[in-house]
Structures are given as C-alpha cells and as structure tokens.
Chains A and B, each alone.
Chain A
Amino acid sequence: MDFALDLLSWALLLSGGFFAVAGGIGVVRLPDFYTRLHASGITDTGAAYLILAGLMIQGGLTIITVKLAMIGFFMFFTNPTSTYALAAAAHRSGIEPLDAAGGPNKPEPVEKSLPNPIELTPSRTGSAPPSQP
C-alpha cells in the first residue's frame, strides 16, 4: 500500500514538474501577451494542483493535508481572478491580440471589403438594372 501511494505521489509530482517547465518555456517563447497568459495558466492550474495533490498523498490524513487543501482552495479562486484582471487591464490599455499571420488582430472595415452592387451592376450587364427607373 505504501509502495502504491509512493508511486502515485512520484507520478503526480513529476507530471506537475513537467507542466511547470512546459508553462515556463511557453512564457518565454510565445509571441504575444495573451498567449503568454495561456502558458502562465498552465503552470497555475496543472502544475500547482498536481504538485499539491502529490504532497497531499505524502501528508496523509493530518493537518498538513488540510493546509495543502487550503492553499489549493485559495489558488482555485485567486489565480483565475488575477489572470482575468491582468487580461482586462491589458485589453483596456490597448494591447491587441495577434492573428494567425502574426499581425495585430484588428477587424477590417466591412463596407470597404465587400464589392458595391450598385456600382458593379451596370458595367457587368452594359445597361441599367431593370429595378431602377
């Protein structure tokens, strides 16, 4: 039984460490603030909860596990809140997300990108459309 619990704890701690390093590499290498926010969210959720779960297994049914659960409880509420506040503040200050081509993701004006049917119809048919008097 102890062997199984130690094995499970090893697996949880190592997968938590993997998520932490993956998120850290993402924070350094991703191109945009909002994508870096995503990489930071990996370390705030995957790494933190897996490592805390691995420590809880080693703690057993004691006050240690209760304290670890309280840390996880606070992280469960404070990390999404701070991530949301960060994203909202960055968006308010004018940082634009990147699109797939790597440029700023601003919507194109619709009326310029669509062809104007009133101007196109006489040149295509050679005469005025029948709906016009």
Chain B
Amino acid sequence: MALTLGGTEMYAAAALAVLATMALALVRTIAGPTVYDRILAVNMMTTKTTLLIALLGFLAGRPEFLDIALVYALINFISVIAVLRMFGRRA
C-alpha cells in the first residue's frame, strides 16, 4: 500500500476531485433559484461524468470505458440544447 509514483493513485486522486465537484454541482442543482442555474449545474455534472468514466476506466485497468465517455460527451450537448429549446419556447 505504499504510494508508488506510477500506480493508480493518481487516477483515484483526480476521481475524488471530480466527485467532490459533482457533489458541489448537485448542491447548485437543488438550490438553484432559476431553471437556468439548474441546467448549468446539470451540464457541469455531465461533463464531470464524462471525465469520471474515463478516470474509472483507467483506475480499473479497462480503458475500453472511453467509448462510453465519448457517447456521454455527445449526449450531454444534445440534451442541453434540447432542454434549452423547450424552456425557450415556454418563456
């Protein structure tokens, strides 16, 4: 359990930071006064999810997870534009 330089601890450290950021974005999603604050926080969370999937793939030694991260990055963009169009029509 010694801290080796080339081990998987670097992925764990970055994944912990990304998880903390996702928790903070979740706080803004719940507390956001306007709907745009919530969309902003959800957009941020999905970007962090992409990074987290890539980091977890490296952490587990299975970088094939990057395909899922790639799909997530595309779905994120489409979902944000779709939700914005819906609320733009209503407002």
Contact = CB atoms under 8 A, between A and B. Distances in A.
Contact of B50 (A6, A17, A71): A71
- Which of under 10, 10 to 19, 20 to 34, or 35 or more describes the interface residues of A? 35 or more
B28 A48 contact: no
Interface string B24-67: 11011000001011011101100110110011001000010011
B82 to A, nearest CB: 11
A90 interface: yes
B69 to A, nearest CB: 6
Given A40-B43, A43-B44, A48 B24 contact: no
A55 B54 contact: yes
- Label chain B's interface by main secondary structure: helix
A54 B6 CA distance: 12
B43 A24 contact: no
B17 A95 contact: no
A28 interface: yes
B81 to A, nearest CB: 6
Contact of A86 (B6, B43, B67): B43
A7 interface: yes
B48 A20 contact: yes
A86 B25 contact: no
Most chain B beta carbons < 10 A, residue from A2, A75, A82: A82
A47 B49 CA distance: 12
Contacts of A74: 70, 73-74, 77
Contacts of A90: 34, 36
Interface string A14-50: 1011101101110110000100110010011001100
A33 B38 CA distance: 10
Nearest to B41: A27
7 contacts: A14-B10, A14-B14, A24-B23, A52-B51, A54-B10, A90-B36, A93-B87
